[in-house]
Structure 1
């Protein structure tokens, strides 16, 4: 199994180029992750750099999955956990930007990245996770079979990379210490 590591603020800064490449691959592959095509590497790097303050203050936790099981291998997947900042919401967090490079899919990396984020959420005191994804997508299947509960669909919620509006499914998962 490839190595999964949480990025420190310094590691995040050093990893922006590879994270940008992963984001460009996702958009080029048609993933609805918040960006429209054409989407270039500089634009992707700028978006990732804009996340640096949240990574530095610990409100955004970012993991990368590296190929070959080594901390020096190429980044082939990522997931982020956005911790809630409101005092009445510290029991919940949001899974964001779960992406696996198109050439690395089908190897269980999404599930491994999700499991990592779920364990970290519990460690941070968050036992309720939320996320959204394009309805009918491969990602939706990953969440449904991974114990997540769909609680609604919003029509025309987000645009796909070509700008076509897509329905979006919203999921939650109540975590327990035993899994």
Structure 2
């Protein structure tokens, strides 16, 4: 995979719906079946993954969530990241980074960092000044977030179950945008 040929695009609701049962569901299933704690238990079926993406398409159309997707030169989906805007009137300055997923075949090459940077830039362009995220404590993602300038806020024991159903600690991070 040549990182110079990777393109990152924003997906609208229609594109999310179009890929929900195919490439997007496959990416989510790859993450869950690879052990990523992203809100689902294994085994994750295609139907359940597709239904989640279809619901997310509605959020994109409502302006609640933005989805960025990374594709290689052949048009193969390699990863996604989403930004969820806070809805409360006193929180409209912030957003949550959610579902940073990189296909197992594309990991370790800087794609997660590029997706995270795209989401940060998109958030700043939208006027957001603070981002938060959570990740399984001890996961490889923690190194990415720390090296990208995110600050550890704290850890909650047993906060979310991993794909096997085992409760794991979750660490929260934040980043102030310039």
TM bin (shorter chain): over 0.9
Residues 1-179 of structure 1 aligned to structure 2 (within 5 Å): 1=3, 2-16=6-20, 17-68=22-73, 73-176=75-178
In structure 2, stretches of 5+ residues that fail to align are none
Residue deviations 1:38-96 (CA, integer Å, cap 9, x gap): 1111110011111121110111000110122x6xx111100000011211111100000
Asked if 1 retains the 8 angstrom alpha-carbon contact of 2:7 and 2:71, the reply is yes
Query: Quick check: 1:93–1:128 contact (8 Å CA) kept in 2?
Result: yes
- Residue 8 of structure 1 and its aligned partner are, at CA, apart by 1.5
Equivalenced residues, count = 173
Shift of 1:106: 1.1
Which secondary structure state, in structure 1, belongs to the residue aligned with residue 32 of structure 2?
helix
Q: Distance in 2 between matches of 1:91 and 1:159?
A: 30
Normalised to the residue count of structure 1, the TM-score between the two structures is 0.94
Q: TM-score, normalised by structure 2?
A: 0.95
- Matches of 1:129 and 1:30 in 2, distance apart? 25
8 Å contact kept, 1:150–1:171: yes
Q: Deviations over 1:105-158 (max 9, x none)?
A: 011000000000001101111110000000010011100111000110000000
**Contact 1:90-1:125 at 8 Å conserved across structures:** no
Q: Structure 1: how far apart are the matches of 2:99 and 2:67?
A: 9
Divergent runs of 4+, >3 A: none
Task: State the 1:98 CA deviation.
Answer: 0.2
